[in-house]
Amino acid sequence: MKENDIHIERVDWITVLVYFALVMIGWFNIYAAVYDGQAEKSIFDFSINSGKQLVWIGTAIAIIIVIMAADYRLYENLSIILYLFFVGLLIVTPFLGKEVNGQILSVGFGDFRIQPGEFAKFATALALAKFMERPTFDLSKTKYQLQAFVVLLLPVALILLQPDTGTAMVYFSMLVMFYREGLPQSYFVLGFGFIALTLMALGIENNFYLTLGIAAVIAILIFLGKRSWQKILVFSSIGIALIAYTYSLDFVVEKLPEHQRNRIMVLFNPDIDPLGVGWNVTQSKIAIGSGGFSGKGYLEGTQTKFDFVPEQHTDFIFCTLGEEFGWIGSLVVIALFVTLLYRLVIMAERQKTRFSRIYGYCAISILLFHFMINIAMTIGLFPVVGIPLPFFSYGGSSLWSFTILLFIFIKMDSSRAMQLGRIS
């Protein structure tokens, strides 16, 4: 038996089945989103998005076959090259790309265009895995932390230049992988505390109460345990810095470009401007909310197909599902995503090399982030961030990049028996 044979029996079929289930449900929903009862176009009609998505699905299957057929070591060997290639592509995108709505996201020629930002995700995942697999690599040490962050931040910085805040945010989801690989817990405690403080500062009208709260917490911390002038000085400085931060935040929000500021503020008050910024969230919630328990029935939705919800076949595809299949439909799809992610954690933990485990967690991080943020934004739990729902949303770049991301890991997993036990 040759080492690069496809081990059908070792492929994790549960994951593959969940993947296809999501892709097919997504495809049906894309048809529902563009369905026009008067035009009577078939789901296979290439002039509408469902027909086009079928082409993307077909090509995605071709990509899967190539990935599964290739040598598992190829990805490890190509990791740094792929990373550098896509970083390079990100560098040239602003010069060669096409501008749409003030963003330059894609490069290519004619109708064939790809978004380097999408593909750089799996390339960065491979590079991080390669970089961090060294036995000496220890995330509890500042030196290694900085190295890992540089690998991560390079594509982020380039994507922010496009500018595509949503995609850039996705890269920060790698924190989940860093957590698994031993980034100290205190970072997360501080991080979450900081996020909580930020949300409170934005959400609470009067910063005075927040100031009182911070002062109280600092005072309690100072009087707990041993007291020293040094400690009092450090804690007081931190307290003052935090209070200053809460006040400066209002100022910064004020200085943000209007569309970004509104996206944040609408989270706290969706009625702030129901026909303007709040439109997306309001209409999205109406579409999903009107689905009720069991939905209006396939192709019977009115909110999504009559364009009340913007971007209803891409970023807001979940609305179509929520409207036509109700809470039951939402439950099925969320259960599929949770099953997929749970399965991927199990798979990641059974890897024999640190490389493939890290890569697996990168895939988990990215998929979890997309799943969580995309659905949360459609129901008003998170500001509107333009990121697609994996396997579901219409679009070739998105489907391909998630397929590549997932199936490279499935390939690694199916080949794990041949990997040397070099896990540390």
Partner 1 sequence: MNDQRPVVIIIFIFLVGLVLLTKLFLIQVVDDSFIKKAERNAIQRVVDHPYRGLVYDRTGKLLVYNNPIFDLMLVPKEFQVGDTTRFLEIFDITKEQLIESYTAARKYSFVKPSPLIKQISTTDFARIQDYLIDYPGLFIMTRAVRSYPLPIASHAMGYIGEINAGQLERDTAKYYVQGDYVGLSGMERFYEKELRGVKGVKYKMVNVRGVDKGPFKDGEYDTASVAGSNITSTIHLELQRYGEMLMNGKRGSVVAIEPKTGEILAMISAPFYDPNSLTGADFSKNYRALNGDESKPLFNRPIMATYPPGSIFKIVQSLIGLQDGILTPETTFACNKSLVACHNHPSPSDLFGAIRNSCNPYFHQAYRQIINREISSNTFEDTKIGLNDWREKVLKFGLGSPLGVDMTNEKGGSIPSSKLYDKVYGEGHWKYSTIYSLSIGQGEMLVTPLQMANLAAIFANKGFYFTPHLVKSIEGDPNQIPVQYRTKHSVGIDAKHFDLIQNAMAEALYGTANRAVIQDLVIAGKTGTAQNPHGEDHSVFVAFAPKNNPTIAIAVYVENAGWGGRAAASTASLMIEKYIRGEISRPALQEYVLAGNFIY
Interacting residue ranges for partner 1, rule: CB under 8 A: 36-38, 176, 179-182, 283, 285-293, 300, 302-303, 306-308, 322-323, 326-327, 330-331, 334-335, 337-338, 341-342, 345, 348-349, 364, 368, 371-372, 375-376, 379, 381
In the block, residue with structure tokens 């990641």? 348
Cβ atoms of residues 363 and 32 within 8 Å: no
Which amino acid, one-letter code, is at 385?
V
Q: How far is the CB of 323 from partner 1 (least distance, A)?
A: 8
In the complex with partner 1, the residue whose CB is nearer, 13 or 192, is 192
What's CA 78's distance to the chain center, in Å? 24
Q: How far is the CB of 294 from partner 1 (least distance, A)?
A: 10
Q: How far is the CB of 19 from partner 1 (least distance, A)?
A: 17
Which amino acid, one-letter code, is at 152?
L
Cβ atoms of residues 262 and 273 within 8 Å: yes
In the complex with partner 1, the residue whose CB is nearer, 4 or 339, is 339
Residue 72: phi and psi, rounded to 5, are: -65, -25
**Strand partners for 114:** 107
Selection from 171, 121, 180 nearest residue 149 by Cα = 171
Cβ atoms of residues 131 and 105 within 8 Å: no
Spatial strand order of the sheet with 112-114 comes to 98-100, 103-109, 112-114
Cβ atoms of residues 138 and 188 within 8 Å: no
Q: How far is the CB of 115 from partner 1 (least distance, A)?
A: 26
In the complex with partner 1, the residue whose CB is nearer, 204 or 346, is 346
Selection from 336, 340, 341 nearest residue 325 by Cα = 336
Q: How far is the CB of 338 from partner 1 (least distance, A)?
A: 4
In the complex with partner 1, the residue whose CB is nearer, 158 or 341, is 341
- Tokens read off for 227: 């007291």
Q: How far is the CB of 96 from partner 1 (least distance, A)?
A: 35
Residue 5: phi and psi, rounded to 5, are: -65, 155
In the complex with partner 1, the residue whose CB is nearer, 285 or 411, is 285
Q: How far is the CB of 292 from partner 1 (least distance, A)?
A: 6
Rg, C-alpha atoms of the chain? 23
In the complex with partner 1, the residue whose CB is nearer, 75 or 361, is 361
Q: How far is the CB of 296 from partner 1 (least distance, A)?
A: 9
**Strand partners for 143:** none
In the complex with partner 1, the residue whose CB is nearer, 60 or 319, is 319
In the complex with partner 1, the residue whose CB is nearer, 218 or 368, is 368
d(CA 266, CA 279): 10
In the complex with partner 1, the residue whose CB is nearer, 32 or 90, is 32
Q: How far is the CB of 73 from partner 1 (least distance, A)?
A: 26
Q: How far is the CB of 415 from partner 1 (least distance, A)?
A: 21
In the complex with partner 1, the residue whose CB is nearer, 28 or 179, is 179
Give the start-end residues of each E strand in 284-340. none
Please report, in angstroms and rounded to a whole number, the separation of the first and last CA atoms in the chain.
Answer: 28
Give the Cβ contact number of residue 223 at 10 Å.
9
- Tokens read off for 3: 């080492």
d(CA 209, CA 279): 31
Q: How far is the CB of 353 from partner 1 (least distance, A)?
A: 16
State the sign of the Cα–Cα–Cα–Cα dihedral 182, 188, 189, 190.
Answer: positive
In the complex with partner 1, the residue whose CB is nearer, 120 or 281, is 281
Cβ atoms of residues 296 and 290 within 8 Å: yes
